[in-house]
Structure 1
Amino acid sequence: MITRLLVANRGEIARRVFRTCRSLGISTVAVFSDPDAEAPHVAEADLAVRLRGARPSDTYLAVERVLEACRASGADAVHPGYGFLSESAEFARAVLAAGLLWVGPPPAAIAAMGSKIAAKRLMEEAGVPVLPSLDVTAPGEFPLLVKASAGGGGRGMRIVRDAGELAREVESARREAVAAFGDGTVFAEPLLELARHVEVQVLADRHGTVWALGERECSVQRRHQKVVEECPSPGIAPELRERLCEAAVRAARKIGYVGAGTVEFLVKGDRVAFLEMNTRLQVEHPVTELVYGVDLVRLQLEVAEGAALPPVPPVPSGHAVEVRLYAEDAAYLPQSGVVRRFEVTGDVRVDSGVESGSVVSPYYDPMLAKVIAHGSSRAEAVRKLVTALRRARLHGLTTNRDLLLRILENRAFLAGDTHTGFLEDPAGPAHASAPQRTDELPALAAALALAAANRRRAPVLAGLPGGWRNVRSQPRRARFTQAEIVYDPLPEGITTISADPEQVVLERDGVRHTFQIAHYEEGGPVYVDHAGGHAELTPVPRLPEPVEHVAPGSLLAPMPGSVLRVEVEAGDRVTKGQAVLVLEAMKMEHRIAAPADGVVSGVHVEKGQQVEAGAVLAIIQEGNP
């Protein structure tokens, strides 16, 4: 029986496992890197052990250090979470060799699915349909998908549409696979475009029972990483669902699987093709939990202790939808910094790795949280999710909230008509223009809140109205980079009900609107949240400080990272879109391209150099100097 469990992971999944352990009376142990020393998962565990010596990006991959943490804390069991060492057969063997209980599948099952190349052969033997494998150096057909044989999560994956880009993309996939998984083996498959990405949750015990807990729709992806997941899939008919579940059970039985795992498929029409089996808990497991009324982590723990599953799985009820809330900009570039405020409320489940005041470092995945809604119907679940996202207070970092809202309100998504290229569609939600915000009320609320804050700080005569004059000479204005507003007197038809630094209530044409205001530092952004959405307004200083100007044509680092490769030299001519250099951040490669035709007048970094966000990387003089 488990008495003290160490979670060899961080962030959201560590907190998720701890939550179940608390309900079962199991003591918990967290491990952490230096950047994670103040992270919520560390504070929530009963005990916590710093993993010293490794680089921050490699800390949670250090097998011997994790085992040392088990010995130091007295843990008698290990849960790997997902990512990092969760699909390492070597780690599973080391845990078992140390006399600890491993909350996961047998090492042999992990190894069997650890290589996608070998896994495909096994699945063919089990009668599970697969796509043909192609020679990665001479595939013979295009388009194709280059994939890392180890790991997943979109890392080491590249779409190749013609022979001219094959060698470059294969090499890029290999580098990324080595950085993420320590294994640069890649292979290729035909690209099955406009297909659905559908996965089946399986759960197996040591006594021969294997459950298939329905399917999850995971087609809405960016960079091969899932963004929205739901259960059940809106595009899978009952007969096809039965085929998928039967194939998933065959796959699990073939490798002697035990515990929770996921079998992933591509589905196009009636065609089904095996993608991979994830021998761990998935990020999107909450949608299955809500629909089937189970706690998958609890079942993992019970199966690891030797318990038998009931012969028949529970019956599903309703529909669940999950979105992944990332700290990233509109180009999917990860953001790092301080989360000033993180509040997501409503009839939703929030599995989060951060809280207000947390620091998002550049070393790990930028996912802030998963927000999940369950309803009696798909429409109800989506509506709950939209409401929660609109009313969330997310301050300090740029997030993908607006993209998530555009997806959830997209006509094709609401009809269940999605596929793996959904976010790449030029007419889809990822490429929709941001709505033009013509409503003046948020800016008025921000101006009134700032004026109230100034009066609160006034050392004398604080009771006088802001901007009071014996004789009014001109209206009072507030200038933001996004808008300029006259707030005294207010525009016709608008009246102030109350105005405090934290809350402003305005009435327009007989309708009252309440705005929550947050302002964290002098001259910093003003965050305005209300029932209709949110706004971030940056005040324009009356007397701006002198600033350093960046030379025209400068290419700036979009995020902190390491220079992986410099592809030009000073004096080279470049064309618009040509790669100038490649940055590595959060174990993914990011191409920095020339914004226009021109000549490289200077390169300011070199291979291996660490750079901060905003650093000048190179300068391109446009035209023909």
Structure 2
Amino acid sequence: MSISPTLLIANRGEIARRIIRTARAEGYSTVAVYSDADRDALHTRDADRALAIGGQTPAESYLDIDKIIAAAQKAGAAAVHPGYGFLAENAGFARACAEAGLVFIGPSAEVIELMGNKRRAKDFVANAGVPCIPGFSHSDPGGSQGDDTLMAEAQRIGFPLMIKAAAGGGGRGMRLVQDAGSFAAQLRSARSEALGAFGSDEIILEKALLDARHIEIQVFADSHGNVIHLGERDCSIQRRHQKIVEESPSPAVDAQLRERMGAAAVAAARACGYLGAGTVEFLLDRSGDFYFLEMNTRLQVEHPVTEMVTGFDLVAWQLAVARGEPLPVTQQAVTQRGHAIEVRLYAEDPENQFLPQTGPVHHWREPAGEGIRIDHALLQGSEVSPFYDPMLGKLIAWGRDREEARRRLHRALGELQLIGPKNNIHFLRQLLQQPGFVAGEATTAFLEDANWYPAQPAPDTWTQAIAAALNHERHLRAADRRSGRANWRSGDHSLPLHYQLQCDAQELHCRLACRGGHSYRVMVEGRDFDIEVRQFADRCARLTVDGVELEQRFVRVDNALFLLRDGRQWQFVDTTQAPARTALAQGSGHITAPMDGCIVEIHVQANQAVRCGDTIAVMEAMKMEHPLKADRDGTVIKLAASAGDQVRGGQLLVQIEPVEIATGATS
């Protein structure tokens, strides 16, 4: 088989950029597609050509098969790379490509269909001799999915157990159920999310293996009958059943276990007639037994760690296999050199249940150094929209051993500069220093009780003092510009100035005394700081704080000052001249949408009594369902949204009037 040198990438962001990079190096002419929301995205600039496909949401753009096929034909492409995500595991898309005479970079539609359904995949690999987790998947197509049947099967399996969407993965439609009492609610929630994400609410049940390792094996197959594996990746550290840290090799896998797991993965791939890159995922328990989870019929987000320890370019291999070429190496030639660790960068709030975030990117600078790789599609001034996954990119570090890779990654996270939506950079830095991770002992339960990362309601006094000094400098320089006189000062500056800064929900009070020029004495929470602002340029200031010289990154947006300290972003708003705040803060009873999205369920009615913490509604945004909870006891006096409504971030959904709720009495 031969393919033309024109390749269309049916994806966006860092995924499209990653594929474009190798495709161009391999001599292909590349074509990108973009939605209305991605008109100025970096992947459209990297490609040789970019075609608009319209729409904003995935359904209107990157998930519209007809639009993608039409774009490929218009561009004169003879091959389509689906990337990972969107249509990468869509059998209908692979079939449509074939019918249109386009080479689909991936396995056949039949294999995608088989492995894309967890029930059928599990039955198939079990027949191939691959060990599977005990559970319920009713292998006959007419098997019951009724609530009573599923509850009976759950009781038979025993709790805790996992509810999983049969038609998909990525953590969507997946719920951990601890006991029978919560099964019905979790089943309803999993079905709803699965239907929205995959178009099917079919589910399977599996015994929950708690405190296990999530290990995946990278497999590759060509059209000449060769099937090999490239070792394992440890993906145990997850939140919401989505991976955030991946590494290769796994600290828990020795050469003998690697051979056994690799053989099982190759057997599964060979049995289904696989072609191209795929991943067979397992759970590994403490006894060394492993069980099949699923097979991903595509390249994975975390493939760079495999590339960095093997030296192979997996996208180049995908293109070669699609051209009909044999794999470039045999199993015996595959070796692992050193260690690689990857972290996923997300626009999310780790202090608020990892809630996805949106907004403009005010400042961005990527790290560099030996053994460092970063895949991203960020651009200063770009927007993190609510229409797509909140993953911003991934940062990877290679080292001669695991500890060197860990140290390099920790340093690189500290050098990465992102000011914009809240993100998980500081969280990841702290994670890499936890004793359990340093020792290589992290399991899937690692983040269940992340008490090592408590919410910090206010920045430390050092950061507050710097914010007060820079805020004061901002006012001075604005006054200088208005007066036309540089460094103009008037009045009695021997008296301290009082500044009131708001950081999240905290009101911070600072006193600042001018000591001549740009030197200040700043008083915060009973502590004094001597600060000199030596340089004050756009986005960067040179300071001396108590004799320590430092460079401070910052961004000014309207009345807000964003500071970047130790990978953590702080936002300070000057409220010194603002009127006294009203009670519309915490516990206001105004339940608003945290971002743009769709209301899936409303759990309350007008005049209903609720307690603080009760789930009021469920909304879907950025591919995940998010429960919205009451922030006080009271009575629902207003319902401003209904199930199915598209809502904007900040929009009022439910209003609760504070009243005392009787606790009841016992006799």
Which residue pairs with 2:262 in the alignment? 245
* 1:60-99 equivalence runs, <5 A: 60-99=62-101
For 1:561, the aligned partner's letter is G
For 1:205, the aligned partner's letter is D
Name the CA distance, whole Å, in 2 between partners of 1:153 and 1:450. 45
Q: Quick one: structure 1 residues 12 and 416, their matched pair in 2 at CA, closer, same or farther if it must change by over 3 Å?
A: same
Q: CA deviation at 1:514?
A: 2.0
* 1:131-146 equivalence runs, <5 A: 131-134=133-136, 136-138=150-152, 139-140=154-155, 141-146=158-163
Which residue pairs with 2:664 in the alignment? none
Name the CA distance, whole Å, in 2 between partners of 1:433 and 1:616. 27
Q: Report Cα offsets for 1:214-244 as digits up to 9, x if no partner.
A: 1111111111001111111112222212211
Q: Quick one: structure 1 residues 604 and 435, their matched pair in 2 at CA, closer, same or farther if it must change by over 3 Å?
A: closer
User: Which of 97, 111, 130 pairs up with 1:128?
Assistant: 130
Q: CA deviation at 1:536?
A: 2.2
Residue 334, structure 1, aligned to residue 348, structure 2: no
User: Which of 208, 211, 216 pairs up with 1:191?
Assistant: 208
Which residue pairs with 1:602 in the alignment? 638
TM-score (normalised: structure 2): 0.87
Q: In the alignment, is the contact (CA less than 8 A) between 1:581 and 1:592 conserved in 2? A: yes
Q: Report Cα offsets for 1:328-351 as digits up to 9, x if no partner.
A: 112211111211122121322111
Which residue pairs with 1:437 in the alignment? 460
Which residue pairs with 1:165 in the alignment? 182
Q: Quick one: structure 1 residues 528 and 589, their matched pair in 2 at CA, closer, same or farther if it must change by over 3 Å?
A: closer
Name the CA distance, whole Å, in 1 between partners of 2:54 and 2:459. 49
Name the CA distance, whole Å, in 2 between partners of 1:48 and 1:12. 15
* 1:217-228 equivalence runs, <5 A: 217-228=234-245
Which residue pairs with 2:542 in the alignment? 505
For 2:14, the aligned partner's letter is E
Q: CA deviation at 1:442?
A: 3.2
User: Which of 509, 514, 532 pairs up with 2:551?
Assistant: 514
Q: SS at 1:298's partner residue?
A: helix
Which residue pairs with 2:144 in the alignment? none
For 1:166, the aligned partner's letter is F
Q: In the alignment, is the contact (CA less than 8 A) between 1:478 and 1:487 conserved in 2? A: no
| Matched length | 618
For 2:220, the aligned partner's letter is L
Name the CA distance, whole Å, in 1 between partners of 2:84 and 2:625. 21
For 2:159, the aligned partner's letter is F
User: Which of 114, 126, 131 pairs up with 2:116?
Assistant: 114
For 1:437, the aligned partner's letter is D
* 1:414-433 equivalence runs, <5 A: 414-425=438-449, 427=451, 429-431=452-454
User: Which of 313, 318, 321 pairs up with 1:303?
Assistant: 321
* 1:489-500 equivalence runs, <5 A: 489=515, 490-491=520-521, 494=530, 496=532, 498-500=534-536
* 1:558-597 equivalence runs, <5 A: 558-597=594-633
Name the CA distance, whole Å, in 2 between partners of 1:468 and 1:16. 56
Q: Report Cα offsets for 1:287-329 as digits up to 9, x if no partner.
A: 1111111111111111111111122343211111111111111
Name the CA distance, whole Å, in 1 between partners of 2:248 and 2:541. 40
Q: Quick one: structure 1 residues 380 and 47, their matched pair in 2 at CA, closer, same or farther if it must change by over 3 Å?
A: same
Which residue pairs with 1:475 in the alignment? 496
Q: In the alignment, is the contact (CA less than 8 A) between 2:634 and 2:660 conserved in 1? A: yes
Which residue pairs with 1:324 in the alignment? 344
User: Which of 227, 233, 236 pairs up with 1:210?
Assistant: 227
Which residue pairs with 1:17 in the alignment? 19
Q: In the alignment, is the contact (CA less than 8 A) between 1:442 and 1:535 conserved in 2? A: no
Q: CA deviation at 1:260?
A: 0.7
User: Which of 274, 289, 297 pairs up with 2:307?
Assistant: 289
Name the CA distance, whole Å, in 2 between partners of 1:142 and 1:196. 19
User: Which of 30, 34, 37 pairs up with 1:35?
Assistant: 37
Q: SS at 2:484's partner residue?
A: coil
Q: SS at 2:388's partner residue?
A: coil
Q: SS at 1:287's partner residue?
A: helix
Name the CA distance, whole Å, in 2 between partners of 1:452 and 1:544. 19
Q: Report Cα offsets for 1:52-106 as digits up to 9, x if no partner.
A: 4685444222112111111111111000111111111221121112111111112
Q: SS at 2:396's partner residue?
A: strand
Which residue pairs with 2:665 in the alignment? none
Name the CA distance, whole Å, in 2 between partners of 1:334 and 1:535. 16
Higher alpha-carbon deviation: 613-622 or 188-197: 613-622
Name the CA distance, whole Å, in 2 between partners of 1:287 and 1:98. 35
**Superposition CA RMSD, Å:** 2.4
Which residue pairs with 2:573 in the alignment? 539
Q: In the alignment, is the contact (CA less than 8 A) between 2:97 and 2:104 conserved in 1? A: yes
For 1:28, the aligned partner's letter is T
Name the CA distance, whole Å, in 1 between partners of 2:647 and 2:473. 37
Q: Report Cα offsets for 1:427-465 as digits up to 9, x if no partner.
A: 4x455657862325633552465256436624422144x
Name the CA distance, whole Å, in 2 between partners of 1:58 and 1:176. 19
For 1:488, the aligned partner's letter is C
Q: SS at 1:60's partner residue?
A: coil
Higher alpha-carbon deviation: 103-112 or 358-367: 103-112
Residue 488, structure 1, aligned to residue 510, structure 2: no
For 2:512, the aligned partner's letter is V
Q: In the alignment, is the contact (CA less than 8 A) between 1:202 and 1:263 conserved in 2? A: yes
Q: In the alignment, is the contact (CA less than 8 A) between 2:160 and 2:177 conserved in 1? A: yes
Name the CA distance, whole Å, in 1 between partners of 2:529 and 2:34. 55
In structure 1, stretches of 5+ residues that fail to align are none
Name the CA distance, whole Å, in 1 between partners of 2:55 and 2:408. 45
Q: Report Cα offsets for 1:139-174 as digits up to 9, x if no partner.
A: 222111010111211001011122222222222212
Q: In the alignment, is the contact (CA less than 8 A) between 1:333 and 1:559 conserved in 2? A: no
